[in-house]
């Protein structure tokens, strides 16, 4: 219920943040255009309806990058401290976003340091503030739990696939125009936005060299500075290419209508991972309307980032399983075949799980690191890990050391037999 209530606020926060960042880099009109374009773009608006620390971190990521640029431009200690505090907060919210922010801020800072636009004193103060504010939490984690960072490869995504399926054809065309405008300007904004966008795009593709990265997640973060560049392209067309005031007004109305309609239909078509029985199963608008307005994402279904027109019965089954563990209140380990259920169960019932996975693209060896699901475990291992339950998909064979205790249309919960505990 809290997440349902928070969704509009998260959307306002992220769209408001990107509007503000674009305004500070350009002007009010370009900022407003950026906000509407972010609502129109699938990948940027998708994140706004997901109530997680990563969503908050992405907003702070944009602020941190903006403020370090303004600090250099205005030789401002105020903006330097705002950037450092934003980065420190990200470190306490989402490690992956923090690493990407450090990469962008570090690269841009190094370039400006070499150009003698940024003083070494500013750099030392920046690092000091980030460490002082960001490290206490990680020291606590290291002392009590030890630091473990698993970079799971997940689903890799080529640049062409990302721009066609996620970013969108119209924003991609506007992106080219935006880069043309930036290269034509050849000013400090050009350098900043080129470093910000291209560094993330390049990092997202290092998996081609054999590095273990989650390219689609990096590109998702990169989409926010990219949409700012696209908005610069659209603003250029609006101000410099179109001369007729009437045509400008028509274009403005079309932008607003398309953006609001796209956002409205997206929210209508989004299927959560968990649905109670009393929650709505269908969409308010007919599915044919969705296909007409947004044909690309309907036909190709970019499910790596979100489930559009997903099976609502699966969401209901997940809710039933969640309720089972809330009532059971188990203190022993649950091994789940469905990685998404790990996060749902541990966050609602505190039942220990193997991994807090959030996507079905996590490889099988991660969701079942000791082969318990496949029935390849033994009494010693089960006892050592204190495994009490298995959560299996309906078509998975129950291991010999477990017995079914609960079933629904998609899952079955198995309990480890007493003699194998």
Helix, strand or coil, per DSSP, at residue 353:
strand
Same domain (yes/no): 213, 327: no
Same domain (yes/no): 317, 258: no
Label residue 352 by pLDDT band (50, 70, 90).
Answer: confident
Helix, strand or coil, per DSSP, at residue 136:
helix
Name which of 150-154, 212-216, 369-373 the model is least confident about: 150-154
Packed helices 215-236 and 53-74: angle between N→C axes, nearest 10 degrees: 50
- In a domain, residue 26? The reply is yes
Torsion of CA 355, 361, 365, 369, to 10 degrees: 10
Total number of domains in the chain: 2
Residue 344 has pLDDT above 90, yes or no: no
Phi then psi for 390, rounded to 5 degrees?
Answer: -120, 140
Its sign, for the CA torsion 34, 36, 37, 38, is positive
| Pairwise pLDDT comparison (90 vs 96), residue with the higher score | 90
At which of 241, 264, 287 does a domain end?
A: 264
Same domain (yes/no): 128, 201: yes
Helix, strand or coil, per DSSP, at residue 411:
strand
Same domain (yes/no): 176, 236: yes
pLDDT digits (tens, 9 = 90+) for 228-280: 999 999 999 999 999 999 999 999 999 999 899 888 888 877 777 777 777 76
* 323 close to 345: Cβ distance less than 8 angstroms: no
- In a domain, residue 347? The reply is yes
Phi then psi for 358, rounded to 5 degrees?
Answer: -130, 10
Residue 359 has pLDDT above 60, yes or no: no
- In a domain, residue 33? The reply is yes
pTM of the model: 0.82
Same domain (yes/no): 143, 231: yes
Its sign, for the CA torsion 303, 308, 314, 318, is positive
* Non-local CB neighbours of 240 within 8 Å, separated by 6+ positions: none
- In a domain, residue 113? The reply is yes
Same domain (yes/no): 345, 258: no
Q: Where do the H-state alpha helices sit in 75-187?
A: 77-91, 95-114, 120-144, 159-162, 169-185
* 44 close to 227: Cβ distance less than 8 angstroms: yes
Domain span at 353:
313-420
- In a domain, residue 154? The reply is yes
- In a domain, residue 272? The reply is no
Same domain (yes/no): 241, 382: no
Same domain (yes/no): 259, 318: no
Same domain (yes/no): 7, 130: yes
- For tokens 């602020």, what's the residue? 63
Same domain (yes/no): 325, 388: yes
Once rounded to an integer, what is the mean pLDDT over residues 119-129? 96
Instruction: Say how far apart CA 47 and CA 11 lie, in whole Å.
Output: 8
- In a domain, residue 289? The reply is no
Same domain (yes/no): 388, 242: no
* 254 close to 298: Cβ distance less than 8 angstroms: no
Same domain (yes/no): 332, 251: no
Closest CA to 19 of 29, 9, 7, 10: 29
């Amino acid at each position: 219920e809290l997440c349902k209530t928070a969704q509009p606020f998260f959307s306002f926060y992220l769209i408001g943040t990107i509007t503000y960042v674009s305004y500070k880099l350009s002007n009010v009109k370009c900022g407003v255009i950026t906000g509407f374009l972010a609502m129109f773009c699938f990948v940027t608006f998708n994140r706004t309806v997901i109530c997680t620390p990563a969503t908050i971190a992405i907003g702070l990521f944009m602020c941190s990058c903006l403020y370090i640029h303004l600090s250099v431009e205005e030789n401002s200690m105020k903006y330097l401290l705002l950037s450092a505090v934003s980065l420190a907060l990200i470190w306490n919210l989402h490690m992956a976003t923090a690493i990407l922010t450090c990469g962008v801020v570090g690269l841009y800072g190094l370039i400006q340091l070499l150009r003698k636009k940024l003083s070494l004193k500013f750099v030392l103060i920046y690092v000091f503030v980030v460490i002082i504010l960001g490290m206490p939490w990680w020291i606590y984690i290291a002392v009590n739990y030890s630091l473990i960072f698993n970079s799971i490869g997940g689903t890799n995504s080529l640049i062409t696939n990302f721009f066609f399926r996620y970013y969108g054809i119209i924003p991609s065309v506007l992106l080219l125009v935006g880069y043309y405008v930036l290269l034509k300007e050849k000013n400090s904004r050009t350098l900043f936005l080129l470093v910000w966008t291209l560094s993330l795009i390049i990092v997202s593709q290092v998996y081609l060299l054999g590095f273990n990265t989650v390219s689609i997640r990096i590109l998702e973060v990169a989409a926010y500075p990219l949409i700012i560049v696209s908005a610069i392209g659209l603003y250029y067309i609006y101000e410099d290419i179109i001369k007729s005031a009437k045509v400008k007004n028509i274009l403005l109305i079309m932008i607003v209508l398309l953006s609001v309609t796209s956002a409205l239909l997206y929210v209508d078509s989004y299927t959560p991972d968990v649905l109670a029985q009393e929650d709505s199963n269908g969409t308010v608008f007919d599915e044919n309307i969705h296909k007409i307005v947004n044909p690309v994402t309907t036909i190709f279904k970019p499910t790596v980032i979100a489930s559009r027109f997903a099976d609502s019965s699966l969401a209901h089954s997940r809710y039933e399983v969640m309720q089972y563990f809330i009532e059971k209140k188990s203190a022993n380990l649950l091994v789940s075949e469905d990685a998404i259920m790990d996060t749902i169960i541990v966050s609602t019932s505190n039942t220990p799980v193997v991994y807090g996975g959030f996507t079905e693209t996590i490889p099988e060896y991660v969701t079942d690191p000791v082969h318990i699901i496949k029935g390849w475990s033994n009494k010693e291992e089960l006892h050592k890990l204190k495994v009490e339950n298995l959560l299996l998909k309906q078509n998975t064979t129950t291991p010999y050391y477990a017995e079914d205790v609960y079933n629904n249309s998609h899952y079955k919960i198995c309990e480890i037999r007493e003699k194998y505990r």
